[in-house]
Amino acid sequence: MTTDARRIQLQDNLNRTREAVAAACAAAGRAPESVRLVAITKTFPASDAAALTGLGQADLGENRDQEAAPKAAELAALGLEPVWHFVGQLQRNKARSVAAYADWVHSVDREPLADALDRGAESNGRRLNALVQVSLDGDTSRGGVPVSGIARLAERIAGLGSLDLRGVMAVAPLGWEPAKAFALLNECSEAVRRVDAGATEVSAGMSGDFREAVACGATMVRLGRNVLGEREPMA
């Protein structure tokens, strides 16, 4: 149960975050509606996710299936249907579960995972919006396909029956200037659009670098701390 004080805090945080994203859009000469705010609710209770949905925040993000699946089920039991974005690294054995509730998967970084998500979506009678996660520095240990492999993976996703290729996602590599990282991601977006002209989404930017991401063309920003506050350490 969300207290009145917590609900007011979330509303205030949400208002400030939306204003900050709108200001970033204005600074980049873009319309505020051109950037979607995905509120990352990981480690926070389902009650917070439900409260945000009630406050009109449509897009919620999670990065671990073992937390996201029960949270999505709890909100569904309340009759709440946010747009769920799965943004974390994903193993194939979790693909079927994620495909049952996620509307977007930002972290598709290899063909076997794309195939598993496709099978999971089909078995659940659903379609998934898929983003190619790019490893901008080539270090795939943190997730992402190397830049050289983008076109092949995009073509694979585009050819699957229950996935819709929608664009690209990346995290700025450690030690990189965000503007450099997101400029490269914009080039990667062009490569995916050559596979499917409609795959125009660019998921980029978190709490510390979303302004640079918006300046470089991001259409989704993934913000958690701004909206929900500081997280407790993971157990």
Q: Which tokens is 85 given? A: 């974005």
Nearest 10 degrees: Cα torsion 224, 226, 227, 229: 80
Q: What's the Cα-to-Cα distance from 200 to each of 15, 43, 149, 159, rounded to whole Å?
A: 27, 30, 18, 17
The dihedrals phi and psi of 152, each to the nearest 5 degrees, come to -65, -45
pLDDT confidence bin for 1, thresholds 50/70/90: confident
For 72-91, the pLDDT digits (tens) are 999 999 999 999 999 999 99
Does the pTM exceed 0.85? yes
pLDDT confidence bin for 235, thresholds 50/70/90: very low
For 87-136, the pLDDT digits (tens) are 999 999 999 999 999 999 999 999 999 999 999 999 999 999 999 999 99
Predicted confidence (pLDDT) at residue 196 exceeds the cutoff of 90: yes
For 141-173, the pLDDT digits (tens) are 999 999 999 999 999 999 999 999 999 999 999
For 24-65, the pLDDT digits (tens) are 999 999 999 999 999 999 999 999 999 999 999 999 999 999
